[in-house]
Amino acid sequence: MQITRIIMLASMLFCRIETYAQQQPAEKPQAKPVAQEQQGEAKAPRLPEDKPLGAAGPTKNRQKPRPEDADFMIIRDRWRVGIPEDPRFKEGDIKNPYRQNVLKGDYPVIGNSTFLNITLASESDFNVRRVPVPQDVSSQLPGSYEFFGRGRQESFNQNFVFSFDLFHGDTSYKPVDWRFKVTGIANLNLLKVRELGIVNIDVREGRSRLDGFNALEEMFFEYRLGDTTRLFPFLRGKGSRKGRSPFYDFTSIRLGVQPFTSDFRGFIFSDSNLGARLFGSFESNRWQYNLAYFEMLEKETNSGLNTVNFRDIGFRNQKVYIANIYRQDTFKLGYTTQFSLHYSDDRPTVEYDQNGFIVRPAKVGTVTPHRVRSGYFGWAGDGHFGRTNITHAFYQVIGRDSFNPIAKRGTRINAQMAAGEFSVDYDWLRYRIGAFYVGRFKSHRRYGARIRCDTRQSEFCRRQIQLLEFAEHPPDTDRGCAG
């Protein structure tokens, strides 16, 4: 009995000790100052020490992190995120154009969407040729009775090109929102010949000429007007909501001195001149179009550059209107077709070049200022059918010359031009064959002429065509004269 009582007392005592231990509050671990920890971490976040690989320029991440950004960091300049050092990667330099560089549009200069692209180039051309030249009245070799003189000529042309292109927008995904571009050229040219009266109409100038000229070949502003389907509702297709293009088809306008080529090979117009151009695309970029107007500038005589400089601007009193449209994947994938319309209004002017030679009107026949109006209707294509590459063009030109110097009267213009090239690739070789054709209708008038020149109305072109016309149909101007 005593043993039983002892066991009962021991169990009761154990239960009381356990109950007392449960009633006592557990010792809480020492709490960390949360607020102080958060405040301390608010000062800790900072941008990584790693730098971008290219010559990125100053970063735009200059705003300090706020206390509520303690769990993450806001990087406002997504273009200049640093990359850890790695021997496989080479860092760029501001003078190295072959690496990422802020001066060639790899990093924005304003915000995250405005870029600057600066281009510096040097173009050198040395040419040696032999062409037939007349001896003129003051020949270099006195006593020579030959009609042609020594035709060897050497020329050197040096261009230093500077281009400044500032644009807004990510061009990897969409056309630019706006762009301002300026391209200047400093030219130095040298010509050496064997006869007098070639480098200048004044034979006292000798047989060589060194000249220089500075010009602006590009200076334009471009602005994206918006989606093509919003500007032209009749082009809206399926999937367009409130006129917005689901394929981001765009329409932009460009004003100023700008380059433009009207077809694949530039048969009719390929120049950099003063004008306005409306261009864009529709149907998921399958169609592209251009509407252009140019007020033609005079070309400097010895350099061939536009007479747009800090001193004066020269206009040649000629207007050109161009409209064309391209369609990709016509007939088959990989073939693009194009239809174009050109109109040139070359008004009568008298122009002497810098060397004293007459440029307009042509020094052929009766030298009289005249007006040439011509229209060009063209169809061209470029692409491939299977392994066969093809490029072709056909143009029909009609118009009127107010006074033809050979026919000595107004004449109608009616002529055609066709060109084609076929090629096949075998490994790294390309075998090609091409053809060029110029045709004209027979004249219904006795002294009519058919003339074909490009939209710039090259004086050399006019002169050659008129000489051919004169050889085929010489006018009877001497009929009735004595002798």
If you write DSSP's letter for every residue of 212-231 in order, what string do you get? Answer: EEEEEEEEEEEEEEEEHHHH
End-to-end CA distance of the chain: 175
- Residue ranges of the chain whose pLDDT lies below 70: 1-50, 54, 59-74, 135-147, 171, 236-246, 309-313, 440-483
Pairing of strands 152-168, 178-192: antiparallel
- Cα–Cα distance, 274 to 337 (Å, whole number): 27
**DSSP string of 8-72, one letter each residue:** HHHHHHHHHHHHHHHHSPPPPPPPP-HHHHHHHHHHS----S---SSB--S-S--SPPPGGGTT-
Residue positions counted in the chain: 483
The pLDDT, as a whole number, for residue 351 is 85
Could you tell me which of 422, 388, 411 has the C-alpha nearest to residue 473? 411
Could you tell me which of 303, 124, 297 has the C-alpha nearest to residue 211? 303
Positive/negative CA dihedral, 243, 244, 250, 254: positive
Q: Which residues contact 454 (CB under 8 A, 6 or more apart)?
A: 267, 268, 269, 461
Give the tens place of pLDDT for each residue, 253-265: 999 999 999 999 8
Contacts 24+ apart (CB under 8 A), 384-388: 384/334, 384/335, 385/331, 385/332, 385/334, 385/335, 387/424, 387/425, 388/422, 388/423, 388/424
- Cα–Cα distance, 338 to 378 (Å, whole number): 8
Give the tens place of pLDDT for each residue, 105-138: 888 888 888 899 999 999 999 999 988 887 666 5
- Cα–Cα distance, 396 to 380 (Å, whole number): 12
Could you tell me which of 178, 158, 157, 70 has the C-alpha nearest to residue 114? 178
Token digits for 451? 């003339």
Q: For residue 400, how far is the Cα from the chain centroid?
A: 33
Q: What's the CA dihedral at 198, 201, 205, 209 to 10 degrees?
A: -50
Contacts 24+ apart (CB under 8 A), 178-182: 178/221, 178/222, 178/223, 178/224, 179/221, 179/222, 179/223, 180/220, 180/221, 180/222, 181/218, 181/219, 181/220, 181/222, 182/216, 182/218, 182/219
Which uninterrupted H or E stretch holds 470? helix 459-472
Which uninterrupted H or E stretch holds 165? strand 152-168
- Cα–Cα distance, 435 to 181 (Å, whole number): 38
> Angle at CA 384, nearest 5°, toward 381 and 385?
115
- Cα–Cα distance, 290 to 292 (Å, whole number): 6
Q: How many CB atoms lie within 10 A of CB 82?
A: 15
Q: For residue 52, how far is the Cα from the chain centroid?
A: 30
